[in-house]
């Protein structure tokens, strides 16, 4: 895992959510029930993609940290750090 991905995973583990600097991309821990699998589950939302109806308004289900990293890479939309 790259260091940026590692930082993202540690942020999610600590706070349960992540918001990009521009506020367009949000990752949050998915609320689960007692009957759900105990692994990490997240919901990713990207404001430009929701407006374009590319992902549902409620966000996209992300099953683990690798899926979170792929979501972040896919939804960068040209931001520059």
Per-residue pLDDT of the chain (81 residues; tens, 9 = 90+): 456 777 777 888 778 888 888 889 999 988 765 445 555 689 999 999 999 999 999 999 998 888 988 998 888 776 544
Q: Nearest to residue 40, comparing CAs of 77, 69, 2? A: 69
Asked if residue 50 is part of any domain, the answer here is yes
Specify the residue for token string 């790259």. Answer: 2
Is residue 17 assigned to a domain?
Answer: yes
Residue corresponding to tokens 């105990």: 38
pTM of structure: 0.74
Identify the three-state secondary structure at position 44.
strand
Residue 47 inside a domain? The answer is yes
Q: Which domain holds residue 34?
A: 3-74
**Total of domains in the chain:** 1
């Amino acid at each position: 895992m790259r260091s940026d991905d590692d930082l993202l995973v540690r942020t999610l583990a600590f706070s349960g959510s992540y918001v990009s600097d521009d506020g367009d991309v949000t990752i949050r821990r998915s609320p689960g029930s007692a009957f759900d699998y105990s692994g990490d589950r997240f919901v990713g939302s990207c404001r430009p993609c929701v407006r374009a109806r590319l992902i549902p308004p409620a966000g996209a289900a992300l099953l683990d940290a690798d899926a979170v990293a792929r979501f972040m890479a896919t939804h960068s939309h040209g931001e520059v750090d």
